[in-house]
C-alpha cells in the first residue's frame, strides 16, 4: 500500500490517496462558484489528485464567513457546481463537497480588507453561535433550540443539492472554530440545555446532523467529517485528543466513514508547534483507537513525506492544501518522484 494505492469508502473508489484539501478562494458572488473555481478545482483534477474537495460551502446565507464565499442553498448555485463536477469527472477524478456554517465567525469583510466585521450597510448580518461567547471581537447571539433544528434541515437540504449536482462524497466541516466546533468545544459553548454542559450534550448538534445527513444521502456515498482534534489552548475547558477519540467512535457508529483530523480554530497556534507532519499524530491516534479511516493534514508538502504516512498506516488519505496552490500537478510530480506509473492526461503526455 502506498500513496497511489486505490482506496474504497462504501461504493466510492479513489484512484489514489491524494486529496485537494478545502481552501477558501473568496471569489464567489451570491454564493455562486464561477470560472475561477472551475479552473482552480479542475486544474488540480488534471494534476492527478484522486479526490478534489470544494472549499467550505455554506448551507445558508448566514453560514457564510464573507460575502465572497460559495454556497449551495439554492438551485442556481447547485447548477453552477454541476458544471465543475462534470469537468472533474471527465479527468477521472472524484469530487466532494464540504458543507459548512461559520456561526459566530461570520459576517466578515474580504481578506483583502483584513476580514473585519461587516456593517449592516455593507451587507452584514447578526451572527449566532452556541453561546454569546466573544470571538474575533464580536459577541454572537445564542441559537435557540428551534434554530438549531432549522439548521439541521439546512444541512440536509444542502446535502440533497450536492447529490443532485453529482458530487461523490460530502464532508461536514466541524473544525477550525466554525459552528459545529463552537458547540462541541466548552471554550465557546456555555449553554445549560441539552446542547450544552456535558460532552455528550455538546456533541449532540453535530451527531444529530450527521444522522440526518447520513439518512438523506445514498447508502453508497461516503460521509466525511473534518474536526479540530485539539483546541491548542491550555485551559481546563479546551477540547482534547481524548475528547476527539470519544467523538470519532460515536461518529463512526452514526455512519461517518472518514475523519479528517485537523486542529485549532479559536487561537493562533504558536509557530514552534507548526512543522512538517505536526498534525499527523491526530489522524494516526484516532485511526488506531477507533478503527475509523482518517485523513492527515498539516504541512505535508513532499511526495516521500506523504507516501510514508500511508505506508506507515498513519492515515488513509493525505489532504494537501498550500502545496496544491503552489503545484496543481502535485500528484503527477509525486508519482514521477516515487517512480510509480499513473495515468497522465493524453494532452500532457509529451511532458512526462
> Look-up: residue for cell 466541516?
173
Is 178 one of the annotated active-site residues of the chain?
A: yes
Task: Using DSSP, state whether 76 is helix, strand or coil.
Answer: helix
> From CA 158, how far away is CA 16, in angstroms rounded?
27
Residue in the structure block whose three cell numbers are 505535508: 300
**Strand spans (E) along the chain:** 7-9, 12-14, 18-20, 51-53, 57-58, 94-100, 128-129, 141-142, 169-174, 223-228, 258-262, 293-296, 317-320
Q: Where are the alpha helices (DSSP H) in 280-329?
A: 280-290, 303-311, 322-326
Q: Which residue's entry shows cell 443539492?
A: 161
Contact 183, 130 (CB under 8 A): yes
- Beta carbons within 8 Å of 141's beta carbon, 6+ residues apart: 126, 127, 128, 129, 132
State the distance between the two ends of the chain, measured CA to CA, in whole angstroms: 24
3-state SS class at 314: coil
Q: How far is the C-alpha of 246 from the C-alpha of 248, rounded, in Å?
A: 6
Q: What is the DSSP code (8-state) at residue 116?
A: P
Degrees to nearest 5, angle at CA 10 with 201 and 4: 110
Q: Which of 26, 178, 195, 329 is catalytic?
A: 178
Give dist(CA 311, CA 319) in Å, integer: 15
DSSP category for residue 297: -
Of 236, 250, 328, 249, give the one whose Cα is nearest residue 291. Answer: 249
The residues carrying an active-site annotation are 178
Amino acid at each position: 500500500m502506498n500513496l497511489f494505492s486505490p482506496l474504497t469508502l462504501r461504493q466510492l473508489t479513489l484512484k489514489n490517496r491524494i486529496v485537494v484539501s478545502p481552501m477558501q478562494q473568496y471569489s464567489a458572488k451570491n454564493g455562486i462558484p464561477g470560472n475561477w473555481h472551475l479552473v482552480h478545482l479542475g486544474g488540480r483534477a488534471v494534476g492527478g489528485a484522486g479526490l478534489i474537495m470544494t472549499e467550505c460551502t455554506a448551507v445558508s446565507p448566514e453560514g457564510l464567513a464573507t460575502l465572497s464565499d460559495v454556497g449551495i442553498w439554492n438551485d442556481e448555485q447547485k447548477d453552477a457546481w454541476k458544471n465543475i463536477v462534470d469537468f472533474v469527472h471527465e479527468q477521472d477524478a472524484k469530487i466532494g463537497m464540504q458543507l459548512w456554517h461559520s456561526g459566530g465567525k461570520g459576517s466578515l469583510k474580504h481578506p483583502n480588507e483584513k476580514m473585519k466585521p461587516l456593517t449592516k450597510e455593507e451587507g452584514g448580518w447578526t451572527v449566532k453561535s452556541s453561546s454569546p461567547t466573544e470571538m474575533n471581537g464580536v459577541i454572537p447571539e445564542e441559537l435557540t433550540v428551534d434554530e438549531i433544528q432549522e439548521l439541521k434541515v439546512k444541512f440536509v437540504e444542502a446535502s440533497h443539492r450536492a447529490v443532485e449536482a453529482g458530487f461523490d462524497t460530502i464532508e461536514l466541516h466541524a473544525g477550525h472554530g466554525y459552528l459545529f466546533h463552537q458547540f462541541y468545544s466548552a471554550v465557546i459553548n456555555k449553554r445549560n440545555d441539552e446542547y450544552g454542559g456535558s460532552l455528550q450534550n455538546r456533541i449532540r448538534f453535530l451527531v444529530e446532523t450527521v444522522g440526518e445527513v447520513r439518512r438523506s444521502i445514498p447508502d453508497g456515498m461516503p460521509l466525511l467529517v473534518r474536526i479540530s482534534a485539539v483546541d491548542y489552548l491550555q485551559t481546563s475547558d479546551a477540547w482534547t485528543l481524548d475528547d476527539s477519540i470519544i467523538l470519532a467512535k460515536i461518529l463512526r457508529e452514526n455512519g461517518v466513514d472518514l475523519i479528517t483530523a485537523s486542529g485549532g480554530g479559536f487561537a493562533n497556534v504558536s509557530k514552534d508547534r507548526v512543522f512538517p507532519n505536526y498534525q499527523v499524530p491526530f489522524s494516526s491516534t484516532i485511526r488506531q483507537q477507533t478503527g475509523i479511516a482518517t485523513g492527515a493534514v498539516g504541512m505535508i508538502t513532499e511526495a516521500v513525506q506523504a507516501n510514508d504516512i500511508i505506508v506507515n498506516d498513519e492515515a488513509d488519505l493525505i489532504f494537501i492544501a498550500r502545496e496544491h496552490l503552489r503545484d496543481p500537478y502535485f500528484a503527477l510530480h509525486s508519482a514521477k518522484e516515487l517512480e510509480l506509473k499513473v495515468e497522465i492526461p493524453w494532452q500532457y503526455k509529451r511532458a512526462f
